Amino acid sequence: MSKEQHARVHARVHTRCGACGLLFHETDLLHSFVRRGSGFTDHGPSKFFGDHYGISCDDVRFCAFVDCLEPHSESSMVHTDCLESYISCGLGDKLCWLRAAATWRSPWCGASPLNVPPRINFDRRLADLDLTDRVTSMPQELYDMIRDFSLSTDPMPNYSLHHYDQVVAASSLFREYVREEPLNRIESWNRGEPPEVRHGPDKPFIRLSIDWRGLRSIERLAVLPPAVNLRSDYAGYVVEEAERLSNVVVKFQLDLATLSGVTGGFRVWDTPCPPPVDDNVDHDPSSMYYETCSMYYDTSSMRHLGTIGTEAGSLTGMTFFYGYGSLLAVHVHTPAQPSAKDTFLNVTPHRQDTLIWIYVPIQKGIAEFAFSKAEHIPGHYGKRQQLLLHLEDVGDVFVGPYDLRTSKFMLIKQPQTLVYRRFDVSPIYFCDAFSRTHKLKEVCPPPNRAISGPSWQDFMYFSSAHLENAVVIRVFTVPLKKLCRGLLIEYEDGIKRALGQCRLGVDPVQKYMGMSKLCFKNVKHLKRGSKRVQVEGVIVECHSENDHTHQDLGWTCCNMSGCLKLWFVDEETRIQYSDT
């Protein structure tokens, strides 16, 4: 290694703006602040080029590899628009507060900021622009379109200013130097308030809460909280024994806090009451399945873990978002969250166009859940994983890229909580599960996967359902086109099966009842953004009469019996039918 390479500063690429907390879009202009000694250097403006690159700017190398173990300098990134908003408002030297707030998004030295979105009050943003009356008087569909676009685009300058004026306004209440306290001496602390020092009896547990701005609160606990389904998309939680944090120090500056002296990795949960997976699983540090949940990892990194409560009544379904064979996000459908739109909008913007939506309706809970071994290679983006759900009164539902190669699965019966590894920019993957009555165990791959089908792509997806006793069929179509994207079939007993991509609350839906025939026609259509490349597609109709006609040729008319098989990937869909 040359002296020049050795002297080059290594800094991480961030996916969210340190000022407004929203995701960067490709080609967004941004400024990067990198710590040099006791100060920061400003690099920019430069363009954001996504999440899979390493570039050099001056003597700084910016790296986006999640698994990179090379020591890196403290850094932050902000939109150029956000930075200029401060300058144009005459904040002057208050920019140092912005740099501090953006940099202290890391909950402790060496950890990346938690990749969670800020809580945005859309109605307040309308009020700031004096648009409330005009927008809320619009039709609901148009109002929803404006809301979704607003929440998925770059931040309005007034939003970042409104958020950080709390820091600027409170600056006179805090000394400029950094105050330090041993973590074991802190009874409680909430952002914006001075810490409460502990004087009472010893409490053996500590809970930290973290959001997109960094540490949000610290509290001592006398007992561990029972595991309950209280997950959050906006915060992460660390629940640990206080003894394990005995050498950790809390630094306070402005209304912010960060930890120093962290020497081991932490599990950061999406719930303040995580499941007791350590009591359920005999972790093997050499196994990929458990590298997320065990404590055998390096430096001061953190492992962000998502949870899904699966008990009957707590969810109505799940949507799995896949991209190029890897799982990128999971949405849990509940009566309060019937659509997966918000989860979709939190996926890195430049990956949204290629996402595969796989919806699994769940009425009576999950009897068994199995996940294949994730192909986790340090520095490698893809992490292909298949899932198998055995649902009460439904049977097996296979989720993920269809692959006939043998792969070992981890299975748990009667799960109460599913656990998956969350990354800043890389795919997620399931790694653990908790049940009060059963343990996670290794099983052979399910035998019913050996189904031959069309081979258009490396990453194909497969779903099937029988037509007998179907009473309602909903056909999801591509907007402004007749092309079928997915089907949701409801049976006499109330059970539902989904085929293809059923994007609830997003795509147009045609509802059919009293069907005697399901008809489909496999067609060719132009690939999105292309004038020449044609890909596979399908048109689906249902008819109440056996004696019906079609205006063109090529239709297959199926009795309401037999099995419908649907192969799909990205924009391509193809249906096969068998009468057995």
Q: Residue 425 maps to which CATH number?
A: 2.100.10
The arithmetic mean of pLDDT across residues 342-349, rounded, is 84
419 occurs within a structural domain: yes
pLDDT category at 66 given cuts 50, 70, 90 is low
Please check the confidence at residue 389 and state whether its pLDDT lies above 90: yes
Do 352 and 466 fall into the same domain? Answer: no
Q: What is the pLDDT of residue 284?
A: 36
Q: Which of 385, 419, 450 is the last residue of a domain?
A: 450
Do 406 and 517 fall into the same domain? Answer: no
**Averaged confidence pLDDT in the chain:** 79
Please check the confidence at residue 169 and state whether its pLDDT lies above 70: no
At 130, give phi and psi (nearest 5°): 60, 45
366 occurs within a structural domain: yes
pLDDT tens, 72-123?
788 888 888 888 776 766 555 556 666 666 777 889 877 878 888 887 654 4
The arithmetic mean of pLDDT across residues 567-571, rounded, is 89
Do 430 and 341 fall into the same domain? Answer: yes
243 occurs within a structural domain: no
Do 503 and 536 fall into the same domain? Answer: yes
Q: Which of 418, 450, 482 is the last residue of a domain?
A: 450
Do 392 and 280 fall into the same domain? Answer: yes
Q: What is the pLDDT of residue 116?
A: 86
364 occurs within a structural domain: yes
pLDDT category at 150 given cuts 50, 70, 90 is low
481 occurs within a structural domain: yes
Do 404 and 547 fall into the same domain? Answer: no
pLDDT tens, 464-522?
999 999 999 999 999 888 899 999 999 999 999 999 999 999 999 999 999 999 999 99
Q: What is the pLDDT of residue 415?
A: 94
Total number of domains constituting the chain: 3
Do 414 and 539 fall into the same domain? Answer: no
Please give the residue range of the domain that contains residue 32. Answer: 3-103
Do 378 and 471 fall into the same domain? Answer: no
Q: State the chain's maximal CA–CA distance in angstroms.
A: 84
Please check the confidence at residue 168 and state whether its pLDDT lies above 60: no
Lowest-confidence segment of 59-63, 112-116, 147-151, 326-330 by average pLDDT: 147-151
Q: Count CA atoms within 13 Å of residue 81 on its CB side.
A: 14
172 occurs within a structural domain: no
Please check the confidence at residue 155 and state whether its pLDDT lies above 50: no
CA angle 382, 384, 386 (to 5 degrees): 165
92 occurs within a structural domain: yes
Sheet holding 572-578, edge to edge: 461-466, 563-569, 572-578
Q: Is the dihedral of CA 300, 303, 304, 305 positive or negative?
A: negative
8 A C-beta contact, residue 330 and residue 469: no
- DSSP of 384-452: B--EEEEETTTEEEEESB---S---EEEEES-SEEEEEE-SSSPPEEEEEE-SS---EEEPPPGGG---
Lowest-confidence segment of 97-106, 206-215, 300-309, 331-340 by average pLDDT: 97-106
201 occurs within a structural domain: no
Do 281 and 428 fall into the same domain? Answer: yes
Q: Which of 139, 147, 102 is nearest to 120 (CA)?
A: 147
DSSP 3-state of 542 = strand
Do 7 and 86 fall into the same domain? Answer: yes
Do 356 and 430 fall into the same domain? Answer: yes
Q: What is the pLDDT of residue 329?
A: 93
CA angle 560, 339, 370 (to 5 degrees): 70
Please check the confidence at residue 4 and state whether its pLDDT lies above 90: no
Q: How far is CA 491 from CA 89, 470, 539, in A?
A: 61, 4, 22
Do 422 and 471 fall into the same domain? Answer: no
Q: Give whichever of 69-73, 125-129, 293-297 has the largest mean pLDDT.
A: 69-73
Q: How far is CA 465 from CA 333, 403, 478, 496, in A?
A: 21, 19, 21, 10
